[in-house]
Amino acid sequence: MLSNLRIFAVNHKKISSLHINNMYCFRIRASLKRIKPHVPLGKNYSSLPGLIGNDVKSLYSVISPPITKIRNIGIMAHIDAGKTTTTERILYYSGYTRSLGDVDDGDTVTDFMAQERERGITIQSAAVTFDWNGYRINLIDTPGHVDFTLEVERCLRVLDGAVAVFDASAGVEAQTLTVWRQADKHKIPRICFLNKMDKAGASFNYAVESIREKLKAKPLLLQLPIGEAKTFKGVVDVVNKEKLLWNPNSNDGKDFERKPLLEMSDPKLLKEATEARNALIEQIADLDDAFAELVLGEFSENFDLLPAEKLQTAIHRVTLAQTAVPVLCGSALKNKGVQPLLDAITMYLPSPEERSYEFLQWYKGDLCALAFKVLHDKQRGPLVFMRIYSGMIKPQLAIHNINGNCTERISRLLLPFADQHVEIPSLTAGNIALTVGLKHTATGDTIVSSKSSALAAARRAEREGEQKHRQNSETERLLLAGVEIPEPVFFCSIEPPSVAKQPDLDHALKCLQREDPSLKVRLDPDSGQTVLCGMGELHIEIIHDRIKREYGLETYLGPLQVAYRETILNSVCATDTLDRTLGDRRHLVTVELEAKPVETSSVVPVIEYAESVSEDILKGSQEAVENGIHSACLQGPLLGSPIQDVAITLHSLILHPGTSSTMISACVSRCVQKALKKADKQVLEPLMHLEVTVTRDHLSAVLADLAQRRGSVQEIQTRQDNRVVVGFVPLAEIMVGAL
């Protein structure tokens, strides 16, 4: 039955692909979001408070530099490109860990959840604060798995720069495209780090070319590798024409030497570096007018005379303008190339004041911050991560939440270091803070010092910008853009071990939802069951495991089901009348409306009002009308799946005096359902954007299998000796049960 109703996205002209971590939906929106629970596993990453021993820095020693010396960066990449390993090396070389952790051993700093250590993957983003050569760096390690792309999204929202990590043997991969698009969306300057240069099949040129071709970016080669795969032993610094060689006998990579390239000892390397430097100068001159004038005016005869400082300043400007991306290389696992990456972060990525935020002028130095993540700690309660855009945060400070229109008090202020935190007396603009005591603040909320401060800022914004003709324009003007919460693509029922445990389960799900807005929980109206809705099989599996570990509940999950959607293909009109007498009051409503498909993807119905509808009637009944429309679109006429890509136009609304809003909603809802049943309908299903890397011998078998799964092959690429099959496959066909 279902196969007869389903219209496959690959054959339909109106696919709206919403990139969720390589997921394309039949106009279904998906994006992932994940959070970090506090699971103390007893590992000390730094010396005890106040004590500094074994050359390991205490968190209390983290410097508090001016805003120009702050860098807020994220590490983003495809699954298994080496993000967490790179972060681990960064913390070790900056002096904040005693030993080098390993993902396989489950002892890394940022993967502190039990599930992360067992699986060897990053599930939720982790923030660490450290210093490097006089700079404070707030770094966030993000997940690479498709189910947790929303973690990347909400972290990029508050960062000033990012490091994109690539597997040098694979180049740009499926998830790389997704995180790159997310960075483009938030206009984040980036640095590319070609990791795993020691891996068999690693190719610097192939990886750079894939950045150019697939990401449509202009790579600036700041380094060249000395050897590849097994022969990789160091890098050439193109800007300074130096070589960096790591001691093969060193176990931790701290021991390396930097030598200038000389004609006598390294003629071949010197020639390559000179050619690369000249090409770099020409490339930047094409992108930066000020640098072009400098080069043509003083150094046109000999590029070698151009000082490295001038070139570095121009690279910084180009990176900030996002017209090109610096490219570095190394091997985090083999401890090569990480220190130069840290130098590049401080040199080329922007400080908070170099990023332009229009709303800052309205606050005039008053507090303005964005809550971008919430964790639940058993001892401290809710921990809220905030990016401070202006002003200062202190403990015991009363703050105003514009979104929730409530005032709360910060009891403690912490500096984040994965699952260990250090209490601090204050934190200024440009930093990322961890606050304790905010019980109502959620992800995406805008925080200011007081309601009067918000109103004053709104008045300034109104004077400087165009005034919106809506009652709540002042509030909307002040809200910082939060994070788009995606629609789930999987759902299943969840049951407690007994009815007595249902309140405990409800509490656990409420806490997890506050941490992870991509997790949706609803009550099935027919069966009365609690239904979990998530972004993937792993997402729901992790939630189930966390309920067991963190809340001590042995819950039972029903079979996993794909979240289908429904839509209509033609316009239909419907009329309905509801006439009820309750007590001595008569409730009479007559509704006439039209349902029609819309071209643009819209998960919620688009509601329009015809000119014939009286504004006086709408004033008191608009909310009831819209509630009725939304409730009717929750269950479609075919499978009971939500309706999307539909516009509802209200043509007539006739009310008897004294009719309640509940009756209006009921009549509108019934009328919408009547219209949907009359229309031609269609079932929509999520599609996955799939990449399969396979040897030439097994290519035909893979193509045959994809054809069986109703897959649509877009292209077959060549990656060294392998073939990469790129295409779309219905999500239902690649679930674990279907494999």
Binning pLDDT at 50, 70 and 90, where does residue 450 land?
A: confident
Token match 């239909």: residue? 572
pLDDT digits (tens, 9 = 90+) for 185-212: 888 999 999 999 999 888 999 999 999 9
The structure tokens listed for 728 are 């779309």
**Count of alpha carbons within 13 angstroms of residue 147, beta-carbon side:** 20
Residues of the chain with CATH 2.40.30.10: 359-466
| Burial of 162 from C-beta contacts in 10 A (0-12 / 13-18 / 19+) | buried
Task: State yes or no: pLDDT of 242 exceeds 80.
Answer: yes
What CATH number does the domain located at 565-684 have? Answer: 3.30.230.10
Does pLDDT of 8 surpass 60? no
Written out in words, the top-level CATH class of the domain with range 490-558 is: alpha beta
Q: Where are the alpha helices (DSSP H) in 436-521?
A: 451-464, 473-478, 502-515
8 Å CB contact between 699 and 716:
yes
Where does 687-736 sit in CATH, by number?
3.30.70.240
Q: Which residues neighbour 489 within 8 Å (Cβ) at sequence distance 6 or greater?
A: 23, 25, 28, 30, 534, 535, 536, 562, 563, 686, 731
Mean pLDDT of 500-516: 88
pLDDT at 448 over 70: yes
Q: Which position has the higher pLDDT, 106 or 654?
A: 654
Dump pLDDT digits (tens) for 288-302: 999 888 888 877 777
* E strand segments, 50-124: 70-77
Residues of the chain with CATH 3.30.230.10: 565-684
- pLDDT above 80 for 440: yes
3-state secondary structure 564-617: CEEEECCCEEEEEEEEEEECCEEEEEEEEEEEEECCCCCCCCEEEECCCCCHHH
* Residue 143 is labelled as binding a ligand: yes
Check whether 144 is labelled as a binding-site residue: yes
- Report DSSP state, residue 327: E
The token duo for 177 is 């495209």
Cα 670 from Cα 668, distance rounded (Å): 5
Q: Is the pLDDT of residue 705 over 70?
A: yes
pLDDT of residue 205: 93
Indicate if the pLDDT at residue 33 is higher than 50: no
196 is in an annotated binding site: yes
The gap between the terminal CA atoms of the chain, to the nearest Å, is: 22
The pLDDT value given to residue 244 = 92
CA 458/CA 493 separation, integer angstroms? 45
Q: Report angle CA 512, 482, 91 to the nearest 5 degrees.
A: 70
Selection from 99-103, 214-218, 449-453, 543-547 with the highest mean pLDDT: 214-218
| Sign of the Cα pseudo-torsion (182, 183, 184, 186, in order) | positive
Query: What's the average model confidence in pLDDT over 550-562?
Result: 86
Give Cα separations from 453 to 448, 464, 568, 624, 663 (angstroms): 7, 17, 47, 34, 41
Return phi, psi of residue 318, to 5°: -65, -40
Query: The tokens of 163 are what?
Result: 């490091």
Binding residue per annotation — 197?
A: yes
User: Between 129 and 18, whose confidence is greater?
Assistant: 129
Find where tokens 């295409």 sit.
Answer: 727
Superfamily of domain 68-348: P-loop containing nucleotide triphosphate hydrolases (3.40.50.300)
Q: What is the pLDDT of residue 14?
A: 31
Query: Tell me, what amino acid is at 600?
Result: T
Nearby residues of 186 by Cβ (< 8 Å), 6 or more positions away: 156, 157, 159
Residue with tokens 């530099």: 65
* Residue 723, CA distances (Å) to 213, 597, 695, 719 in order: 17, 40, 6, 6
The model's pLDDT over 245-279, given as tens digits with 9 standing for 90+, comes to 988 887 788 888 889 888 888 889 999 999 999 99
**Is the pLDDT score of 66 beyond 90?**
no
CATH topology of domain 359-466: Elongation Factor Tu (Ef-tu); domain 3 (2.40.30)
The larger pLDDT score, comparing residue 681 to residue 105, is at 681
Q: How many CA atoms lie within 13 A of 512 on its CB side?
A: 25
Neighbouring C-beta atoms of residue 503, cutoff 10 Å:
10
pLDDT tens digit sequence for 118-143: 666 666 677 888 888 889 898 887 87
C-alpha neighbours within 13 Å on the C-beta side of residue 395: 10
The boundaries of every CATH 3.30.70.240 domain in the chain are 687-736
145 is in an annotated binding site: yes
Q: Which of 55-69, 92-106, 145-159, 429-443 ranks highest by mean pLDDT?
A: 429-443
- The annotation status of 84 as a binding-site residue, yes or no, is yes
According to DSSP, the β-strands at 530-534 and 490-495 are: antiparallel
Find out whether 346 and 362 touch, Cβ atoms under 8 Å.
no
Confidence (pLDDT) at 156:
83
**Where are the domain boundaries for CATH 3.40.50.300 in the chain?**
68-348
Residue 71 has pLDDT above 50, yes or no: yes
Least confident of 114-128, 350-364, 660-674: 114-128
- Does 12 count as an annotated binding residue? no
Q: What pLDDT is recorded for position 370?
A: 87
pLDDT at 477 over 70: no
- Per DSSP (E only), the strands in 378-425 are 381-390, 392-393, 398-401, 406-409, 412-417, 420-423
Percent of the residues in the chain that have a pLDDT greater than 90, as a whole number: 21
Q: How many CB atoms lie within 10 A of CB 704?
A: 9
* Residue 75 annotated in ligand binding: no
pLDDT, the chain, mean: 81
Whether 81 has a binding-site annotation, put simply, is yes
The SS3 of residue 93 is: helix
Q: How confident is the model at residue 481 (pLDDT cuts 50, 70, 90)?
A: low
What is the CA 370 to chain-centroid distance, rounded? Answer: 15
- Residue 77 annotated in ligand binding: yes
In this model, does residue 638 exceed pLDDT 70? yes
Question: Which residue is it, tokens 């699954």?
Answer: 79
Rounded to an integer, the average pLDDT of 111-121 is 64
Residue 325: C-alpha distances to residues 162, 276, 337, 356 (Å): 11, 15, 17, 19
Give residue-wise pLDDT tens across range 301-310: 778 888 889 9
* CA–CA dist 221, 224 (Å, integer): 7
Q: Is 456 annotated as a binding residue?
A: no
CB 315, CB 326: distance < 8 Å: yes
Mean pLDDT of 103-124: 64
CATH 3.30.70.870 residue ranges of the chain are: 490-558
The predicted structure's pLDDT at residue 330: 93
Highest mean pLDDT among 35-39, 100-104, 378-382, 606-610: 606-610
Range ranked top by mean pLDDT from 4-8, 127-131, 219-223, 635-639: 219-223
The secondary structure of residue 336, as a DSSP letter, is B
